[in-house]
Chain A
């Protein structure tokens, strides 16, 4: 024992720097332990605890933000994680997603008669994985984060016990997700072979301080870059790794879909920036064309396939594919290392991830309400005549859809403007034009939903479906989302100065 204790010396841990993670973990354990040992809590209480945990994580991250301002970025737990503004930005985005999704879920689960603590524990667990991914400074830690995020999401996707589609969605996501994780892990292993380390700092040092070219293993490293990219591109649903998206998004309970589109995407993009730009800049010239092609495919593919769908959840699934394409524009710009586009691309990607997260959760909150009991009415017909029966809800949805289309004075325009600006600064004009053209194609899809709500005759929509009821917490989520969309659309300066 004594020998072991000497040889296995634990790293020094500054616990306070991990406070957002600890808050999320505390909330998870509380819900799991106390929630499962006590009889059913009053309605909405599980959700409230989960939302409060998310708020706590945001508060902790904000407190740390000021510390990073003063002390500068640091690494934690023996260089395994990194505490910088990027970590905290993504933490805040994910925690905000937890808050909003918990509130939507609360109404959803009460409506479906499935209110229970484990769903919220899974959201928080998944958020822990996401934050870990964003903070990772080591491929092993990144993989841990990825798995924690993903496994919780597989269960969440299948969490509606009475809907076969939900089960199917969970299984599909699990099989394909496991497959892509294997790719990622293989890539990490090859990186170890090529550089002798899995640590981000040491990997990039290998190529900046050690000039000895015999330690480079080009072929291994290139294969690793490719495999790692596959794993990450799968998570952000870039074409051609998107095939799971429509089925999983459609089948999963709507709030879970919102969580996948917001938190999981934000975490994966943070990881992508860390890996491709931060850790492996030596191969930027090799990874950039790959990202370029995937970006173009994602933009065009996502928006074109979205247009032919008839189910709103599937439409939004493909639309989220197309939004991933926009964020990839930012990543592509960030890979032009020596141009001003590099910093701008990094900022724009993170900004996009945050703004899109808030936007998409609001959109899915509306879809969740319109879906009615059992999530059944998510086809386009379910939205027919909404402008007449629920004008306020329809107006909120209109604002959110216009923002997704990138109409000015909404946060969607700010997000798009940011990535386009980065692309132009990196002189990637072609991808900027492809992005804008695909935005027009995608606009057609949002118009279709709006036409259904406002223009289509109300009579034809009155086909005996139950009326749309928007419960209190969902209302709050939609209001927050619409408010943020408009306020940040008019005054983006509130955030622009902060984005790392």
Chain B
């Protein structure tokens, strides 16, 4: 294994960059932006390096870095990635430089960029922590920059939305913190001593059934708020609508994934028995979320709110896959994390561009844009099709794997959830039709075409959408072993039996 502390750097580089940007002079906006961009590109480069150095086919944690931190309490600086977290790290590494380069805030670049980089450090840390307290530290830290980004650079209702976001998430993590401490104290996984090391606790097992279920619930609430799972999703449309474009992209792209990732890593892995026990509830909530999100999206008059509700529906699929507990479904769920991050991130960018041009997001006030901006419309179409899950684009692979993999273990839920795919086509195509078709009226006839810089920003998204849709094998190869191992772990520690699949899910 490589000695180079690549994972520690993934956290430290943006954190140091954030401080650096904070102390630079406000009067040199170019220098500030260059510093921020350089830091985020550096972190992105590190994440890509991790991607290429990642040993495929291996199911363990790689690039592990372990140091004692608060040894009196059994808390350590334990980092590592496996197939489940690898692509989330890469997604984070790619999205941040794009957002920093492509979306300028309206004012106060310096503070905005400083918060952005701190956010990146927090998100990275959450995805690579293998210590419960360390994870919690990053998970909570993320709230602060996001709160300030929404509150400082958002739209009219920003204070309300930012506060709602902060408090909703904090209520969830309040329960999780007590749960984390109780898990460590009760498990005593380090030869009878208290340790917060995720791997040690999970492999040690030894929690009584009822205790494990309570503890699982305390974690699950935090993640359910973050995902967000129906009925805890009400903060999301507000936060998304009010956040600045860059904030929305990050929020949808990576922040929500903290919830779905947490469900897998700290829910299913840590409390396999309880996860199996709670399956029906989570499958049901996920399915309700899929349908509810889709119906709510159909009704929206605001384009950004529509995309926000579509997120609720899409994340429902990921949770469905997680709790279906088969290799295909879990792999599909992990993959869907990335797909949703890419396609919804791109959608928010496009909506942001529309807002910049027209200063409205109301669907009723937009029409006929295809006539005046055909390239823009084309890009929007591709991204939208990816979000719908049309075969050949990335959205299809994940969603299909989730539905396929869930069918043997969660048949009736899948039957209902599959209609969500149709509904997704309905609300997105209808929105497209209203915004881009027919003749532009006077206000819309001056709608500017896609600029070169915007095109450059969107190009990476389109490339990922197409490439991973046509050739998902490299991704699947890296995710599947870890998903497999997770399910073996679940089978060992509970009475769950993963049905034997007839064919290896991997052809996409």
- A residues touching B (Cβ–Cβ < 8 Å)? 402, 407-409, 413, 417, 420-421, 424-425, 429, 432-433, 436-437, 439-440, 443-444, 447, 451, 454-455, 492-493, 496-497
Question: In the complex, are the beta carbons of A433 and B181 less than 8 A apart?
Answer: no
B185 adjacent to A409 (CB under 8 Å): no
Q: How far is the CB of B123 from chain A (nearest CB, A)?
A: 14
Complex-state Cα separation, A413 to B139, whole angstroms: 13
User: Counting CB contacts under 8 A, is B167 at the interface?
Assistant: yes
Separation of A433 and B178 alpha carbons in the complex (Å): 7
* Partner among A413, A425, A436 whose Cβ is within 8 Å of the Cβ of B175: A436
Chain B residues close to A by CB (< 8 Å): 69-73, 133, 136-138, 140-141, 143-144, 147-148, 151-152, 158-159, 162-163, 166-167, 170-171, 174-175, 177-178, 181-182, 185
Q: Are B141 and A409 in contact (CB under 8 A)?
A: yes
Q: A408-B136, A451-B151 provided; 10 other pairs, C-beta below 8 A?
A: A407-B141, A420-B181, A421-B73, A425-B185, A436-B177, A439-B170, A443-B166, A444-B163, A447-B163, A496-B70
Smallest beta-carbon distance B105→chain A, Å:
14
Task: Determine if A443 and B151 form an interchain contact, defined as CB atoms under 8 angstroms apart.
Answer: no
Indicate whether A454 sits within 8 Å of B151 (C-beta atoms), given known contacts A429-B182, A440-B170, A443-B167: yes
Q: By the criterion CB–CB under 8 Å, are B182 and A424 in contact? A: yes
Q: In the complex, A436 Cα to B136 Cα: how many Å?
A: 14
Q: Which residue of chain A lies nearest to B182 when distances are taken between CB atoms in the complex?
A: A424
Whether the pair A497, B175 counts as a contact (CB closer than 8 A) is no
- Chain A residue with minimal CB distance to B138? A408
Asked if residues B159 and A455 are in contact (CB atoms below 8 Å), the reply is yes
A420-B177 in contact (CB<8A): yes
Which residues from chain A contact B141 at a C-beta distance below 8 Å? 407-409
A432, B178: Cβ atoms closer than 8 Å: yes
- Main secondary structure, interface of B, reads helix
Which single member of B70, B174, B181 contacts A439 (CB below 8 Å)? B174
CB atoms of A407 and B171 under 8 A apart: no
Whether A440 touches B171, Cβ cut-off 8 Å, given contacts A425-B185, A432-B178, A447-B163, is yes
Whole-angstrom CA separation of A325 from B185 in the bound complex: 23
Residues on A with beta carbons closer than 8 Å to the beta carbon of B143? 407
Q: State how many angstroms separate the Cβ of B186 from the closest Cβ of chain A.
A: 8
**A443-B137 contact given A425-B185, A496-B70, CB 8 Å threshold:** no
Instruction: Kindly state the separation between the CA atoms of A56 and B435 in the bound complex, as whole angstroms.
Output: 74
In the docked arrangement, what's the CA distance between A261 and B69, Å? 31
Specify the main secondary structure of chain A where it touches its partner: helix
Can you give 8 contacting A-B residue pairs, CB < 8 Å? A407-B140, A407-B143, A409-B137, A421-B73, A421-B185, A432-B178, A433-B174, A451-B159
Residues of chain B within 8 A of A413, CB atoms compared: 137, 140
Give CA–CA (A443, B181) in the complex, Å.
21
B164 to chain A, nearest CB (A): 10
For A451, list chain B residues within 8 Å (CB). 151, 159, 163
CB distance from B276 to the nearest CB of A (A): 24
Q: CB within 8 A of B144: which of A402, A436, A497?
A: A402
Quote the shortest CB–CB distance from A403 to chain B (angstroms): 11
Q: How close is B166's CB to chain A, nearest CB, in angstroms?
A: 6
Q: How far is the CB of A184 from chain B (nearest CB, A)?
A: 34
Set of chain A residues within 8 Å of B151, measured between Cβ atoms: 451, 454-455
Question: CA A366 – CA B159 in complex, angstroms?
Answer: 23
Using known A-B contacts A407-B141, A408-B137, A447-B163, determine if residue A455 contacts B152 with beta carbons closer than 8 Å: yes
CB contacts (< 8 Å) of B69 on chain A: these are 493
Instruction: Establish whether residues B167 and A424, one from each chain, have CB atoms under 8 Å apart when the complex forms.
Output: no
How distant is B49 from chain A, measured CB to nearest CB, in Å?
A: 27
Smallest CB–CB gap between A457 and chain B, Å? 11
The distance from the CB of A17 to the nearest CB of chain B, in whole angstroms, is 29
Distance A407 CA – B169 CA, assembled complex (angstroms): 13
B residues less than 8 Å from A497 (CB atoms):
72
Among B158, B177, B182, B185, contact of A455 (Cβ-Cβ < 8 Å): B158
Cβ contact within 8 Å between A444 and B178: no
Docked pose: A409 CA to B141 CA in angstroms: 8
B492 to chain A, nearest CB (A): 27
- Given A440-B171, A454-B148, A455-B158, also A424-B163 (CB < 8 A): no
Those 6 A-B pairs whose CB atoms lie nearest each other, nearest first: A436-B174, A408-B137, A496-B72, A424-B181, A432-B178, A440-B170
Given A407-B140, A408-B137, A451-B151, residue A493 in contact with residue B170 (CB < 8 A): no
Contacts of A433 in B (CB 8 A): 174-175, 178
Docked CA distance A5–B137 (Å): 64
Is there an interface contact between B152 and A454, defined as CB atoms closer than 8 Å? yes
Interface centre among A402, A408, A439, A451 (most CB of B within 10 A): A408
Pair A447/B166 contact, Cβ less than 8 Å: yes
Contact of A436 among B71, B73, B167, B178 (CB under 8 A): B178
